[in-house]
Structure 1
Amino acid sequence: MSALQVPARPFFLDASPGRRFVLFHAPAPQTECRGAIIYVPPFGEEMNMSRRMAAQQARAFTAIGFAVLQIDLFGCGDSSGDLRDAQWEIWKQDLVHAIAWVRHHASSRIILWGLRLGATLAIELARSSPYPVEGCIAWQPIISGEQYVTQLLRMRQAADMVATEALEGGTVQTLRTALKEGKIVEVGGYELPPALVADFDHIDLGTLDGLPCPVHWLEMTRSENASIPAARMDTVNAWIDRGIDVRVQSIAGPSFWGTREVVECPALISTSVQLLREAIA
């Protein structure tokens, strides 16, 4: 840890229902607070695999004068509640509580930063937040919630096949049927409750309209010469056609949220820092 950095302060933030576990990173000592950033984590095991990257990015942001609040959403991590009771709207309200706290204790200049499903949640909250949001930094946002759920169910199907329990687990379609019947499906040690899956299924960033702030969309690619998938660029172009201020940039590096071992992507961190430097210049 740099001598100019102070340890993050953990505490529980009052919310509804219950409380949320948060980590607050103050700006580096003797550095003017230029704004506050709220980190919205991805879902499930992706949250655990990306903790190192999130911590490194948070410290990099504080080094240039930003306060950072990392939050565990309802039913996730060390926060109150069970995942089986989680809802998309509860998670949005978690972010509203986080913004209110940060405005009171750090800065009224708010930027939302999220990864994968967390990036999608940040973008949606920016549209409806009762407090102004100056921008979103979106790392690899989920565009289609329905496709995302299908990917999760395929992971469950693959795990069943490896464990030779295919008859019990079934296909993606049978798992979908179980959810529609109100049954909870477990994926990678995490429960997928039917109500939350229904919330996910309604997510479609391609139809988004009327964002009040710019979105800095950072997309991971396998190599420097690799192009962003056409389907994802279709969403970006649709936003531009609707007047949304979206600025997409590709970063060569690993999909660190989905690897079996904890890996880093320094280029993503430095690019994110540069985005803020340019925003406050």
Structure 2
Amino acid sequence: MNARPAPHAHPFFLDGGAAARFCLYHAPQGSCRGAFIYLHPFAEEMNKARRMAALQARTLAAQGFAILQIDLHGCGDSAGDFADARWETWLADVARAERWLEQKLGDALLAPVGLWGLRLGALLALDYARQSPHMPSAMLLWQPVSSGSAFLTQFLRLKVAAQMLEDGQQNGGTAALRAALEQGEALEIAGYTLAPELARAIDGQDATRIMPPLCPVHWFEMVAEASRPLPPAAARVLQTWQVNGADATGHAVPGPAFWASQEIAEAPFLLRATCAALQEAAYAA
């Protein structure tokens, strides 16, 4: 990580009106070694992770990688409210970002665009990769959500907790909230309006049932200490992929859960581990 500092990112809107998606483009320094699209996490996790995403994007750009950060439909500074967000439009946003990068870099791009996702963004990257006709050069998966169903339940618990604080009752817990979603009711949770269509799509995502493409896949998991192994859930998914022929590598990295911390946190070892994974890969040569 001794490359010279990258210049500030270039902010712009991809298209306009209802199709406007806010983006940050980090141009590669020197010869272009590759390109990645960053897919952010869900709801408030996106805001907590902005600093880490910016630090990694600038570091990779300084090492010759073009990075495009995109705020998905209904998220961040992009068009639409969170209530309008749908999994299908998010997949379409990834395709639009990929086309933009390919057109921007032209002949300088010597390898397909890679995917870099955090938390639910990593699960979105996996779902996109299995449907896309273009295999990415590589996938960088930061703390991936492996089970959309478990993730949705965890998010619904925020509303259960709020109900407990408000009236001292659970009002049916997550089961009641799931029933409301199934009946077509949108739910306001921690300041975000969750549409039943998006909830249904998240609920059906499962990394163990998604075979990643035949490219290098790096799974990074934050652990409390350097000596800790990958958590069992992550290890099981990786083993399933590896048995089925995937070029998947797990990385246990010491550091904080920066996407969920009370204060904005940094994980320098994750930055170094991500850069090291690219340095060692053939596509980064």
Q: Where on the TM-score scale, by shorter chain, does this alignment land: which range?
A: over 0.9
Aligned position for 2:190: 188
- Opposite residue 25 of structure 2, the aligned amino acid is F
- Opposite residue 174 of structure 2, the aligned amino acid is V
- The answer to whether the Cα contact below 8 Å between 2:4 and 2:62 also exists between their aligned partners in 1 is no
- Cα offset for 1:3? 7.2
Name which of structure 1's ranges 113-122 and 178-187 shifts more when overlaid on structure 2: 178-187
SS at match of 1:27: coil
- Cα offset for 1:212? 3.0
1:1-281 equivalence runs, <5 A:
4-14=5-15, 18-28=19-29, 31-106=30-105, 107=109, 109=111, 110-164=113-167, 166=169, 170-209=172-211, 211-279=213-281, 280-281=284-285
Cα separation, 1, equivalents of 2:92 and 2:270: 28
> Would the alpha carbon gap of residues 108 and 72 (structure 1) be closer, same or farther in structure 2, given more than 3 Å must change?
farther
- Cα offset for 1:17? 5.6
- The answer to whether the Cα contact below 8 Å between 2:212 and 2:241 also exists between their aligned partners in 1 is no
Mark the runs of 5 or more structure 1 residues left unpaired by the alignment: none
> Would the alpha carbon gap of residues 40 and 108 (structure 1) be closer, same or farther in structure 2, given more than 3 Å must change?
farther
SS at match of 2:228: coil
Name the Cα RMSD after superposition.
1.8
SS at match of 1:225: coil
- The answer to whether the Cα contact below 8 Å between 2:83 and 2:192 also exists between their aligned partners in 1 is no
Cα separation, 1, equivalents of 2:59 and 2:212: 31
Cα separation, 1, equivalents of 2:234 and 2:7: 38
Identity percentage of aligned residues: 43
> Would the alpha carbon gap of residues 25 and 177 (structure 1) be closer, same or farther in structure 2, given more than 3 Å must change?
same
- The answer to whether the Cα contact below 8 Å between 1:15 and 1:97 also exists between their aligned partners in 2 is no
Cα separation, 2, equivalents of 1:74 and 1:165: 35
Aligned residues: 277
> Would the alpha carbon gap of residues 3 and 215 (structure 1) be closer, same or farther in structure 2, given more than 3 Å must change?
closer
Cα separation, 2, equivalents of 1:130 and 1:142: 24
- Cα offset for 1:164? 3.3
- The answer to whether the Cα contact below 8 Å between 1:113 and 1:122 also exists between their aligned partners in 2 is yes
SS at match of 2:140: strand
Provide TM-score, normalisation by structure 2. 0.92
- The answer to whether the Cα contact below 8 Å between 1:24 and 1:67 also exists between their aligned partners in 2 is yes
- The answer to whether the Cα contact below 8 Å between 2:140 and 2:219 also exists between their aligned partners in 1 is yes
- Cα offset for 1:259? 0.8
- The answer to whether the Cα contact below 8 Å between 1:126 and 1:212 also exists between their aligned partners in 2 is no
- The answer to whether the Cα contact below 8 Å between 1:99 and 1:131 also exists between their aligned partners in 2 is no
Name which of structure 1's ranges 2-11 and 107-116 shifts more when overlaid on structure 2: 2-11
Name which of structure 1's ranges 150-159 and 193-202 shifts more when overlaid on structure 2: 150-159
> Would the alpha carbon gap of residues 251 and 3 (structure 1) be closer, same or farther in structure 2, given more than 3 Å must change?
closer
- Opposite residue 141 of structure 2, the aligned amino acid is A
- Cα offset for 1:124? 1.6
Cα separation, 1, equivalents of 2:237 and 2:38: 23
Cα separation, 2, equivalents of 1:17 and 1:200: 23
Cα separation, 1, equivalents of 2:199 and 2:17: 21
> Would the alpha carbon gap of residues 182 and 5 (structure 1) be closer, same or farther in structure 2, given more than 3 Å must change?
same
Cα separation, 2, equivalents of 1:228 and 1:35: 28
- Opposite residue 136 of structure 2, the aligned amino acid is V
Cα separation, 2, equivalents of 1:128 and 1:134: 15
- Opposite residue 25 of structure 1, the aligned amino acid is H
